[in-house]
Amino acid sequence: MTTPPRVYLDHAATTPMSRAAIEAYAEQMAVVGNPSSLHAAGRAARRVVEEARESVAAAIGARPSEVIFTAGGTEADNLAIKGLFWARRTGHPERRRVVVSGVEHHAVLDPAFWLAEHAGAEIVLLPVDRDGLVDVDALRAELDENGDQVALVSVMWANNEVGTVQPLRRIVQVAHAVGVPVHADAVQAVGHLPVDFAASGLDAMTVSAHKLGGPVSVGALVAGRGLAITPVLHGGGQERSVRSGTLDAPGVRAFAVALDEAVAAREAESARVAALRDALVAGVRERVPSAVLRGPEVDAMLDDGPARLPANAHFTFPGCEGDSLLYLLDSAGVQCSTGSACQAGVPQPSHVLVAMGVDEVDARGALRFSLGRTTTEADVDRLLEVLPQIVARASRAGLASARPDATRAVAG
């Protein structure tokens, strides 16, 4: 039996490490030294970390002192949401409102709701339109009425499921008009969009290495030097006394290498994958006319750039279960996602699609195709070759499972 070719279309979940990042990582792993130690080995490790910090800062328009290394995007988001909330409430107990969009990653939503359960926070969910775009007028109305009670605003730069790019500059302007800090999860944006921390006006921003060719379990919270943040982890006081823990010198070095590569190649690579994405979208619409593209149209624009990530294509397939589609595609050699990998296996519709007004039944039939550096025309062709019969098969399974006497199972 011939094994089908493997096609990886899940780069938004994680993307392969670049060769240069692997080499930098392996080289530094062979070197001993705690960056907090004062002897020669420690000083050498510290030099590696600080050079990486300078490189990361330069790549994203920040100052080196603004880069706080973390163990990844989830930790950085937690530090931003909890740390800003607690810091802003010091001396101002009335600042209990946390304003987030309804389409945020769970790494933002879950700490926000944890604060509501354990620390007296009040969560305000900003509505979005049918494309997943945040309603800036709703934010303005909230801040006009309750600005003195708002601890922070957090709106992601670009959505991890449907690819919507948010109007961050307008959001920052509205929030700063009443003195409220703004955090953005930029994990999906860096390497695909022109991300400049200083130019954005943001107060804090999350970045993760493994989404752009670096290793897992390393990332950064970029935070303005004067921004007060209460630590979530306590220990040795590393990283501006905001994030304690022994720094991962190999990880941050590989992170810096991968980020520098991704940013340097961004313009050409984004154009390349956008062309592949457009061919994928057109091909799916031609071969599966019932499929519905979710998020902005591929040619939609904001005031300062594309309204959709160049590597993202997200569809719902009426009458199908996303998990059935995913498993059938996987058996045909095509790997993709039903949405956020962090929620994979949870039998419930995407909160992102529900916030966009998608019916819960339709939302369960979602697939996200996300492209990256290794994606080729042949990969897109393979998807388009196998998708129609897989959708037909999953649709038949969906009809069968809807009958009262049917046994629920993935088609196969």
How far is the C-alpha of 296 from the C-alpha of 306, rounded, in Å?
9
Q: To 10 degrees, the CA torsion angle through 22, 338, 375, 219?
A: -30
Are 181 and 147 in contact by the 8 Å Cβ rule? The answer is: no
Query: 73: exposed, middle or buried (C-beta count within 10 Å: 0-12, 13-18, 19+)?
Result: buried
* Largest distance between two CA atoms of the chain: 72
How far is the C-alpha of 367 from the C-alpha of 370, rounded, in Å?
10
The residue from 199, 342, 346, 361 that is catalytic is 342
Q: To 10 degrees, the CA torsion angle through 305, 381, 269, 369?
A: 60
Are 265 and 28 in contact by the 8 Å Cβ rule? The answer is: no
DSSP state letter for 309: -
- Strand pairing class (312-316; 292-293): antiparallel
Are 145 and 170 in contact by the 8 Å Cβ rule? The answer is: no
CA distances, 10 to each of 16, 227, 291, 300 (Å): 10, 35, 19, 23
342 flagged as catalytic = yes
CB atoms within 10 A of CB 226: 7
Numbers of helices and strands, H then E, in the chain: 12, 14
Q: At residue 49, what are phi and psi to the nearest 5 degrees?
A: -65, -45
Q: Considering only CA atoms, which of 293, 320, 318 is closest in space to residue 308?
A: 293
CB atoms within 10 A of CB 89: 18
Q: To 10 degrees, the CA torsion angle through 148, 144, 146, 153?
A: -80
How far is the C-alpha of 189 from the C-alpha of 211, rounded, in Å?
9
Q: What residue type is 348 in one-letter code? A: Q
Length of the chain: 412
Which structure tokens are listed for 164? 């919507």
Q: Considering only CA atoms, which of 369, 372, 373 is closest in space to residue 384?
A: 369
Active site residues: 342
